[in-house]
């Protein structure tokens, strides 16, 4: 378990299945993610079995986000790790909407980014965020991510084309949380 | 065969393995590419065996770039084509170094973009380059790409961290520059 201030990051468990299925079928949650079709519990189970069967690793650093009371509120991961370039991408979902805008996401991000730099020996962590997801952009900037540009009209959703922003944080510039 | 002005785009064949292996092991060629590993002929053959015999489909387009005389001088690929977003990634290599800076790459990309926009019905194509690849970036600009993002410490190559540039082109921008048909462009 990786300890943050407000949350802990732990390995995913099959017991998370029902919650995960509920979240990824909630359009209020997934409209900010690259996930538009929803998924049956059976399909989610196949995917989770694969994730849970293998230990967390450099190639697949997937974590469940828990509050300090042990309530599972979302998931986060580092993926597309490029070992020679010491870089990867970050993904995060706070699936429990009652936990939005309370600092859980920011704390999970700080905890995961620190793990990426201090344990996985990453040098650069990047993420993509949709232009209409301003809450998340503010959160990423607060945590230390820097805007690098925008892929114009790279996303089609909700009947229109949208820009996708690219942000990253480098180990050198990372302000370590107190 | 997709006809350009000075090149044609043809399918990649199993018999191209030795040529492609020579390019992928030439560090002058790969200095501007993502690949930095040395490939055995067997690995290159296996790579082609997995791709070349497949029926073509919407998701990925792989081409051999050939001069009008039929000389195989490079490859071009449209990758990660997504139906919902109508976009894809473009990758290109001119492996024959005596063919650099002669307009072959530009013509190959313009030909592939024309195909992407007028046959695949895409509306956006993007690519990645290292910021110090001035020759490449000048070529991409000529094709219609504009810079959209700069990634700091994007890759570690030749002993230093290099800046990455992401570029994109939208269909109306390309059409205004080059036209969606070869005839319009040459007229």
**pLDDT at residue B183, rounded to an integer:** 72
In terms of Cα–Cα distance, which of A41, A54, A73 is closest to A11? A54
pLDDT tens across A62-71, in order?
Answer: 999 999 999 9
Q: What is the mean pLDDT of chain A?
A: 96
Q: What does the alpha-carbon distance between residue B26 and residue A88 come to, in Å, rounded to a whole number?
A: 27
Q: Do the Cβ atoms of B65 and B104 come closer than 8 Å?
A: yes
Whether chain A has a CB inside 8 Å of the CB on B158: the answer is no
CA distance A37 to chain B (A): 11
In terms of Cα–Cα distance, which of A9, A11, A12 is closest to A115? A9
Q: What does the alpha-carbon distance between residue A26 and residue A39 come to, in Å, rounded to a whole number?
A: 10
Residue of A nearest to B35 (CA): A84
Q: Do the Cβ atoms of A35 and A130 come closer than 8 Å?
A: no
Instruction: Delimit the domains of chain B by residue range.
Output: 2-186
- Contact assignment for A153 to B166 by CB distance below 8 Å: no
Cβ neighbour number for residue B1 with a 10 Å cutoff: 9
Q: Enter the DSSP assignment of B9.
A: E
Q: What does the alpha-carbon distance between residue B19 and residue A29 come to, in Å, rounded to a whole number?
A: 49
C-alpha A1, offset from chain centre: 17
Q: What does the alpha-carbon distance between residue B94 and residue B76 come to, in Å, rounded to a whole number?
A: 9
Nearest to A148 among B36, B150, B156 (CB): B150
Torsion of CA A97, A99, A101, A106, to 10 degrees: -120
pLDDT tens across A87-129, in order?
Answer: 999 999 999 999 999 999 999 999 999 999 999 999 999 999 9
Q: What does the alpha-carbon distance between residue A44 and residue A37 come to, in Å, rounded to a whole number?
A: 12
Q: What does the alpha-carbon distance between residue A26 and residue A35 come to, in Å, rounded to a whole number?
A: 10
Q: Do the Cβ atoms of A160 and A123 come closer than 8 Å?
A: no
Average pLDDT over residues B144-166: 97
* Secondary structure of residue B92 in the 3-state scheme: strand
Whether chain B has a CB inside 8 Å of the CB on A126: the answer is yes
Is a pLDDT exceeding 70 seen at residue B184? no
Whether chain B has a CB inside 8 Å of the CB on A158: the answer is no
User: What is the CATH topology of the domain spanning B2-186?
Assistant: Aminopeptidase (3.40.630)
CA distance B84 to chain A (A): 6
Is a pLDDT exceeding 90 seen at residue B54? no
The predicted model scores a pTM of 0.95
- Contact assignment for A148 to B170 by CB distance below 8 Å: no
Q: What does the alpha-carbon distance between residue B111 and residue B115 come to, in Å, rounded to a whole number?
A: 6
Q: What does the alpha-carbon distance between residue A145 and residue A142 come to, in Å, rounded to a whole number?
A: 7
Cβ neighbour number for residue B159 with a 10 Å cutoff: 5
Average pLDDT over residues B29-47: 96
Q: Which residues of B touch A168 (CB under 8 A)?
A: 151-152
Residue showing tokens 């990824």: A24
CA atoms within 13 A on the CB side of A111: 27
Instruction: Delimit the domains of chain A by residue range.
Output: 2-123
Q: Which residues of A touch B155 (CB under 8 A)?
A: 84-85, 87
CA distance A94 to chain B (A): 25
Q: What does the alpha-carbon distance between residue B109 and residue B159 come to, in Å, rounded to a whole number?
A: 30
The CATH code belonging to domain A2-123 is 3.40.630.30
pLDDT tier for residue B187 given thresholds of 50, 70 and 90: very low
B57 beta partners: B60
A80: left (phi over 0), alpha (psi -120 to 50) or beta: left
Whether chain B has a CB inside 8 Å of the CB on A84: the answer is yes
Whether chain A has a CB inside 8 Å of the CB on B153: the answer is yes
Q: What are phi and psi of A118, to 5 degrees?
A: -85, -25
pLDDT tens across A7-55, in order?
Answer: 999 999 999 999 999 999 999 999 999 999 999 999 999 999 999 999 9
Q: Enter the DSSP assignment of B34.
A: S
Q: What is the tally of helices (H) and strands (E) in chain A? A: 5, 8
**pLDDT at residue B185, rounded to an integer:** 55
Identify the weakest region by mean pLDDT among A160-169, B50-59, B97-106, B108-117: B50-59
Is a pLDDT exceeding 70 seen at residue B118? yes
**pLDDT at residue A129, rounded to an integer:** 98
Average pLDDT over residues B63-74: 98
- Contact assignment for B148 to A150 by CB distance below 8 Å: yes
Whether chain A has a CB inside 8 Å of the CB on B151: the answer is yes
Tokens of B98: 């005596």
Tokens of A57: 């690793």
**pLDDT at residue B182, rounded to an integer:** 82
Tokens of B103: 């307009």
- Contact assignment for A148 to B86 by CB distance below 8 Å: no
Whether chain A has a CB inside 8 Å of the CB on B87: the answer is yes
CA atoms within 13 A on the CB side of B98: 3
Q: Do the Cβ atoms of B130 and B163 come closer than 8 Å?
A: yes
- Contact assignment for A153 to B123 by CB distance below 8 Å: yes
Is a pLDDT exceeding 60 seen at residue B93? yes
Q: Do the Cβ atoms of B31 and B157 come closer than 8 Å?
A: yes
Whether chain B has a CB inside 8 Å of the CB on A155: the answer is yes
């Amino acid at each position: 378990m990786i300890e943050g201030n407000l949350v802990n990051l732990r390995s995913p468990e099959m017991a998370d299945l029902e919650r995960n299925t509920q979240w990824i079928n909630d359009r209020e949650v997934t409209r900010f993610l690259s996930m538009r079709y929803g998924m049956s519990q059976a399909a989610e189970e196949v995917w989770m079995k694969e994730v849970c069967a293998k230990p967390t690793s450099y190639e697949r650093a997937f974590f469940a986000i828990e509050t300090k009371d042990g309530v599972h509120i979302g998931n986060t991961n580092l993926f597309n790790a490029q070992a020679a370039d010491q870089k990867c991408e970050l993904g995060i979902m706070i699936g429990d909407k009652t936990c939005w805008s309370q600092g859980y996401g920011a704390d999970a991000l700080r905890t995961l980014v620190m793990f990426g730099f201090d344990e996985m020996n990453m040098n650069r962590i990047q993420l993509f965020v949709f232009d209409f997801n301003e809450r998340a952009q503010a959160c990423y900037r607060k945590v230390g991510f820097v805007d690098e540009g925008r892929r114009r009209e790279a996303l089609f959703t909700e009947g229109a084309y949208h820009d996708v922003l690219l942000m990253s944080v480098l180990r050198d510039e990372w302000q370590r949380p107190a | 065969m997709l006809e350009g002005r000075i090149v044609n785009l043809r399918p990649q064949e199993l018999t191209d393995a030795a040529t492609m292996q020579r390019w992928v092991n030439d560090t002058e060629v790969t200095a501007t590419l993502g690949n930095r590993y040395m490939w055995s002929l067997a690995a290159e053959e296996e790579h082609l065996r997995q791709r070349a015999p497949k029926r073509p489909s919407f998701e990925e387009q792989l081409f051999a770039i050939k001069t009008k005389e039929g000389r195989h001088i490079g490859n071009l690929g449209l990758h990660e084509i997504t139906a919902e977003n109508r976009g894809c990634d473009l990758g290109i290599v001119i492996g024959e170094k005596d063919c650099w800076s002669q307009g072959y790459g530009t013509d190959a990309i313009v030909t592939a973009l024309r195909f992407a926009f007028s046959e695949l019905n895409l509306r956006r194509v993007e690519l990645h380059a290292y910021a110090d690849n001035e020759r490449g970036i000048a070529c991409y600009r000529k094709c219609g790409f504009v810079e959209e993002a700069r990634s700091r410490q994007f890759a570690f190559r030749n002993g230093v961290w290099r800046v990455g540039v992401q570029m994109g082109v939208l269909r109306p921008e390309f059409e205004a520059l080059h036209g969606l048909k070869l005839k319009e462009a040459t007229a």
